[in-house]
Amino acid sequence: MKHDKVALVTGGARGIGLGIALKLADTGFTLAISGRRTAEQTHVALEQIRRHAPSSIYVQADVTSAADRRRLLSAIEEDLGRLDVLVNNAGIAPRIRADVLEASEESFDEQIATNLKGPYFLTQAAASWMIRQQQSGPRLHRTIINICSISATFASVNRGDYCISKAGIAMATRLWAVRLAEYGINVYEVRPGIIESDMTAGVHAKYDALIEQGLLLEKRWGTPADVGSAVSVLATGALPYATGAVLAVDGGLTLPRF
């Protein structure tokens, strides 16, 4: 398969991010993946991606750092020459789940910096580059996809800072969709539900029981590949005329029912 488009997936070397990266590589994208871990720690994941997209790269970068965000995009431009899709996937859960009456300011700051501020300003920089590409060459399909969470609307009082950060991402999707429409850059939100990953490992037994009791319409855990499939639909332009849309990948969890 010819790989002539480039997608950046932050946090793309593990969990949901890796599921997204593998699916995009399989559908014709060269991948740039980023994260806080070293290149050595992400070698196995990158080799998996390169089986489908040989020119793919890994850039160690922390989205909370303005300098790292600049360096990340510069590395992609130098090595791959273009950017067609940005997937803001990097995110963290609270280190300690704490009731909102007791949660720390330090945890709040970390959640907002990683889950909201970093993606917001990476989008700003990447969108500016995409606009320059649109203005200097053919007007191509370019896309920004925010990986959000059902926690954008579900209140979890023992991780309020996480919920607030994801609610912010949901609004950021709307803002960027409005602002970038004139340049032909579509912006979407993918909202996963209960996905089997390292982030949910500590609550596996809890959700096993809830799923068995009928929490979901589709009676199974979601997988990173499920999220990857949804992202691929949006990244390839297979869902036209829908910028700003929210695509729930939650097995029916959020569908109101009696």
Which amino acids are annotated catalytic? 162
Classified as helix, coil or strand, 238 is coil
CA angle centred on 50, ends 220 and 148, rounded to 5°: 40
Please list, in sequence order, all residues whose beta carbon lies within 8 angstroms of the beta carbon of residue 34, skipping any fewer than 6 positions away.
8, 9, 10, 11, 12, 58, 59, 60, 61, 63, 72, 90
- Structure tokens, 136: 């200097």
- Give me the residue label for tokens 């340049």: 183
CA atoms in the 13 A half-sphere facing the CB of 177: 17
CA atoms in the 13 A half-sphere facing the CB of 159: 20
- Structure tokens, 58: 């890994």
